[in-house]
Amino acid sequence: MDRDALARRLMATFLAEMEEHVRTLNAGLVALEKGGDPARRPELVAELFRAAHSLKGASRSVGAARIETACHRMEGIFASVRDGSLALGPEQFGVLFAAVDGVEEAGARLRDGREPAGPAGVPAPPVLPGARAPEPAAVVASAAAVPGRAVRIPAARLDRLLDLNGELQVARRRGESRAAALAALRESVGRWRGEWRGANRDVRKVVGGADRGGPGFGSGHGGEAAPLPRRAVRVLEGTAERLDRLEDDLESLAVGLAGDRRAVDQAAIPLSDEVRRARMLPFAEVCEGLDRVVRDLAAASGKIVDLVVEGGAAELDREVLDRLKDPLVHLVRNAVGHGIEPPEVRRAAGKPELGRVTVAAAVTGSDVVIAVRDDGRGLDGDAIGREARRRGLPPPEGPHDLVRLAFQPGFSTATAVTEVSGRGVGLDVVKSRVEALHGAVECTTFPGRGTAFSLRAPVTLAAIRALLVSSGGGVFAVPNSGVRRLLRAGPGDLGSVGGRDVVFLADGPVPVVPLAAVLGLPARDPARPGGRLPVAVLASGEERMAFAVEEFVAEAEVVVKGLGRRLKRVRGMAGATVLPDGRVAMILSVGELLRAAAAAAPAASLASAPRETAAPARKRLLVVDDSITTRTLVRSILDAAGYEVTAAADGAEAWMVLQEAGSDLVVADVEMPRLDGVALTQAIRASKRFRDLPVVLVTAMESEADRSRGLEAGADAYLLKSAFDQARLLETIGQLL
C-alpha cells in the first residue's frame, strides 16, 4: 500500500474513532452536569478522562495537532476533578462543552479534506484554577483495557454483504418455487399413473385380442377392426413400467432437492441472520446526542428540561437508525423550543418547573415504534391558526385539524431563524423521512398537557413484510405498516360522496380509486368473485385512502432492493423486490401514493359492480394467524370463494371459537403467541368432538423438520407462505372438504 493510501485509511479510522469519543464526552458531561447519583460521579470522571486521553493519542497519530492540544487540556481538567483539586461549575462546563464542539467541528473539516480551523474552530479550554497536566503514571493507571477483540469494518462493506445476502435469499426462494413446481409435477404424474392403472386392464384385453387376431384398435376396410401395430403394442406394454420408473426418478429428484435445500438453508438462513445482526445497533446510540441538544436549547431559552430515554436496548438496523436521527432531533428540538413552557409559566399552570421530554422505543414484530412525548403546552393552536390564515387554508377547528395542518408541506409557525426554532422547517420533513423508511408518523396533542408523536418504521430495511397485489397487469408490494384493512366491496359498500367514489366502512366513508389509475397504468377490470371488488385501505398517519386492485396475491416477507439513481425519484415507488417466480415487483411508498390519489381527478365510477350471484351453501372455515394482514388476506380469499369465514388472532382464541361455534375446517399459522398452530392441531386431534376436523397449516417455517412436526401433530396439509398460491390453497381446502 502506498503512503497516500495508508494516510487516507489511517485518517478514516481516526475519524470513526473520534465520533465515538465525542459521543462519550458529550454524554458524560451532560450526566456530570445534571448531578445524579454521587456514587457514579468518579466513574463518569474516569470515563471522560479516558475518552480525552485516547482521543489525544489518536489525534497525535494523524498529526491533528489542534485536536491533540484541546484534548490534552481537557485531560488535565478531568485529572484535577478526579483528584478533588477542582470543582466544576457552569463556567467550566461551558468551556468543556465548547471544546468538545470545537473538536467535532475540526473532525468535520478533516472529513471534508479541509484544514482544521484556528482557535475559533477548536476552543482550547484554559488551564483552570486547580487544574494540572496529568502525569504519565496517572494516565497509565486510568487507562482501561477494552475487553474482547473487535474489528472495524467499513459501513460500505457491511452494505455490500447485505446486498449479496439479499441476492442469496432471492435465489433460495426461487429454489423453493422450483420445489413447489416439482411437487406439482409429481402430483400430476401420480394422477396419470393412477388413471393408467384403471385403464391398463382394458388396454391389455385389446392388445391380447389383437395378438390373437381378435378386435383391435382402429378400423379396417369395411368397418372391420384393424390389427394394432406391433410397435404400438410394445409402447403400450411398456407404459406402466415407464410410469413407475418416472415416478421413482421424480421421487429421487425430490429427495435430492430437499436435501440440497436443507443444506442451503442450514448455511443461508444463519448467514442472513448474522449479516443482519452485524448491522444492528442499540436504539440508545441514536439518542446519544439528544441529551446535549436538550441541554443547549434549554439553556438558550431559560427553561429547565429533562430528557428520558426508554427502550435504549432495542436493536435496529444501522441504516434505519441513521435515517431516524434527524427526525428525532427535529422532534426533540420542537418539544423543547415550542412545547415545554418557561418555569414561571409552568408554575402558574400548577406544573413542576422541570419539563420532561421522553423518547421511548419498543419493537413490535418486524417494526419499531418510537414515541416522542413532552408534558408542555401542546400544539400552539393560535400560531397554527395564524399560519393557516396566512396561507389561505381553513382554520383548525380541533386537535385533529391542528395535527393535519402541522404536517402540511412547508408549514411552520417559526417567525425567525433561531437556535431554538431551527430554520423554520416543518413537521412534513419528519413525515417524509419516516415514510421513506416504509413507515408512518402519528401525532396526538393535549392542550395544556403536552404532545405525543409516534413513529413506526421497520426494524430493518433489508426485508419487510408486504402485501402483494396485482394491478394494471403488474404485481406490486405494499408495506404492511401502511395496510389498514382488506375487503371485497359489494355494490352496497360503494357509493359517491362529493363527486368521488367512496367505500362505506364502519367508521365512515373512505375515498376509493383504482390503483392502476394512480400509477398511470392501463386499467383492467378487477376480478370480482361474487360481484365483489378487491379493495385495500391504506393509511399514513391521519391520511386514509382505499385502492381498488385486480386481486390480492399474497402476504410475504420481501427482500428490498434500491431503485438506483435513474429510478430513485419515480413517484410512488420506494424500492423493488424479486418474487420467487423471477418477476420484479415494485414496492410502493404509501405516503406518496396517498398524496397522489388525493390530488388525482375523479376516475370512472367503480360503484357499478356486477350484481351478486347466488352463493352456494357456505362451509364454515376458521382462519388463525397473529398477523392482521395475513389474517385479512386469507379471509378475503376464502370469503370470495364462497366460504363463511371466522378469524382468530392466535391458537388460544381459535380454540375458544371452536368450542362456541365449531367449524368445517381450520387454516392456521404455526408461530403464534399463547397457543401455536402445532399445539392447536394437537388439541384438535385429542378432542373427541373435533378429532376429524381438517387442519391446514400455512406457515413461513420451511424446514423439513418443521413440516414433519406439523404433519405428525395431525395437520392434513402444510403450505408455505414463501410459495403461497391462493389457487393451491383453495384446491387443498376443496379436496379436504
SS3 annotation, 690-726: CCCCCEEEEECCCCHHHHHHHHHCCCCEEEECCCCCH
Residues 103 and 57: beta-carbon distance below 8 Å = no
Phi and psi at residue 693, to the nearest 5°: -70, 125
Taking a C-beta distance cutoff of 8 angstroms, is the pair 283, 362 a contact? no
What pLDDT score does 717 carry? 84
Stated as kind and residue range, the H or E segment containing 544 is strand 543-548
Do 105 and 117 contact (CB within 8 A), yes or no? yes
Report the DSSP beta bridge partners of residue 486: 536
Write down the pLDDT at residue 623: 92
Query: Strand pairing partners for 510?
Result: 503
Q: Which of 530, 354, 583, 324 is nearest to 434 (CA)?
A: 324
**How are beta strands 463-471 and 551-559 bridged, if at all?**
antiparallel
Burial class (CB in 10 A: 0-12, 13-18, 19+), 46: middle
Residue 371 has pLDDT above 50, yes or no: yes
Q: Cell numbers 388476506 label which residue? A: 633
Give the pLDDT of residue 120.
39
pLDDT value at residue 164: 80
Tell me how crowded residue 326 is: count the other CB atoms within 10 A of its CB.
Answer: 14
pLDDT digit string, tens, across residues 459-490: 888 788 889 998 888 899 998 888 888 888 88
Band (pLDDT 50/70/90 cuts) for residue 203 is low
Q: List, for residues 412-432, the tens digit of each pLDDT value.
A: 666 544 444 443 446 888 888
Q: What is the pLDDT of residues 477-536, one digit of tens each?
A: 998 888 888 888 888 888 887 778 888 888 888 899 999 888 888 766 655 555 688 899
Distance, CA of 170 to CA of 163 (rounded, Å): 11
Of the pLDDT bands very low, low, confident and very high (cuts 50, 70, 90), residue 206 is low
For 130-144, 312-326, 390-404, 408-422, which range has the lowest pLDDT when averaged over its residues?
Answer: 130-144
User: Residue 156 has what pLDDT?
Assistant: 75
Q: What is the pLDDT of residue 167?
A: 76
Q: Residue 436: pLDDT above 60?
A: yes
Name the pLDDT band for 62 (thresholds 50, 70, 90).
confident
The rounded percent of the chain whose pLDDT value lies above 90 is: 13
**209-240 b/e (C-beta count within 10 Å ≥ 16 → b):** bbeeeebbbeeeeeeebebbeeeebeebeebe
Distances (CA, A) of 32 to 42, 80, 493, 633, 721: 10, 15, 62, 54, 53
123/101 Cα distance (integer angstroms): 8
CB 250 within 8 A of CB 189: yes
What pLDDT, on the 0 to 100 scale, is given for residue 450? 92
d(CA 83, CA 60): 26
- Name residue, grid cell 382554520: 395
Helix (H, G, I), strand (E, B) or coil at 393: coil
Within 10 A of 146 (CB to CB), how many other CB atoms are there?
8
Provide the pLDDT for residue 563.
73
pLDDT at 58: 83
Phi/psi of residue 614, nearest 5 degrees: -65, 130
pLDDT in tens, 689-710: 898 899 998 877 666 677 778 8
Other CB atoms within 10 Å distance of the CB of residue 528:
18
pLDDT exceeds cutoff 70 at 134: no
pLDDT for position 310? 93
pLDDT at 649: 86
DSSP for 44-84?
Answer: HHHHHHHHHHHHHHHHHHTT-HHHHHHHHHHHHHHHHHHHT
Q: Predicted confidence band at 196 (pLDDT cuts at 50, 70, 90)?
A: confident
Q: Are 444 and 452 in contact (CB under 8 A)?
A: yes
Helices within 84-154 (DSSP H only): 90-111, 136-142
When the pLDDT of each residue in the chain is averaged and rounded to a whole number, the result is 79
Instruction: Give per-residue pLDDT as tens, 161-180.
Output: 877 877 787 777 777 777 77
Q: Report pLDDT for 704.
A: 66
Longest alpha-carbon distance in the chain? 129
3-state secondary structure 129-141: CCCCCCCHHHHHH
- In the predicted model, is pLDDT for residue 316 greater than 70? yes
Best-predicted range by mean pLDDT (75-89, 235-249, 555-569, 594-608)? 75-89
Confidence of residue 667 (pLDDT cuts 50, 70, 90): very high
CA atoms of 719 and 61, how far apart (whole Å): 60
Among 223-232, 518-527, 633-642, which range has the highest average pLDDT?
A: 633-642
Beta-strand relationship, 717-720 and 695-699: parallel
From the number of C-beta atoms within 10 Å of its C-beta (0-12, 13-18, 19+), residue 197 rates as: exposed
Do strands 440-446 and 463-471 pair parallel, antiparallel, or not at all (unpaired)? Answer: unpaired
* pTM summary value: 0.62
